[in-house]
């Protein structure tokens, strides 16, 4: 039996979000494999269990990918908090 060379990095909702993260990782020369429930890939869903996409990276790049994932998530959190503050101004 061959040894698995891929490590599960994260599961993210929505193919667009998964593709964005995958592009960021690939820009840093980290190959990715995306897996999604078959029906979820046929019907464009952005929420719920059928929209979940699993992202895998090579084991030897896993630590670097985790750091980039954290940066990616912090960027999303920063944008969300900026948008929340805009609603308070009037």
| Segment 70-75 mean pLDDT | 80
Output the average pLDDT for the chain. 79
| Segment 40-45 mean pLDDT | 55
Report how many domains make up the chain.
Answer: 1
Structure confidence at residue 72 (pLDDT): 78
Q: In degrees rounded to 5, what are phi and psi of residue 37? A: -50, 135
CATH of the domain at 24: 3.30.70.1530
> Residue 72: which of 12, 24, 14 has the closest Cα?
24
Which distant-in-sequence residues (6+ apart) come within 8 Å of 19 by Cβ? 34
Residue-number span of the structural domain to which 39 is assigned: 6-79
**pLDDT-derived band at 73, boundaries 50, 70, 90:** confident
- Would you say residue 63 lies in a domain? yes
Share of the chain above pLDDT 70, in %: 64
């Amino acid at each position: 039996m061959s040894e698995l060379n891929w490590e599960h990095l994260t599961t993210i909702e929505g193919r667009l979000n998964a593709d964005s993260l995958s592009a960021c990782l690939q820009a840093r020369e980290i190959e990715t494999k995306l897996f999604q429930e078959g029906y979820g890939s046929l019907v464009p869903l952005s929420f719920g269990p059928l929209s979940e996409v699993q992202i895998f990276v090579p084991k030897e790049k896993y630590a670097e990918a985790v750091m980039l994932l954290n940066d990616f998530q912090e960027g999303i959190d920063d944008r969300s908090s900026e948008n929340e503050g805009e609603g308070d101004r009037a």
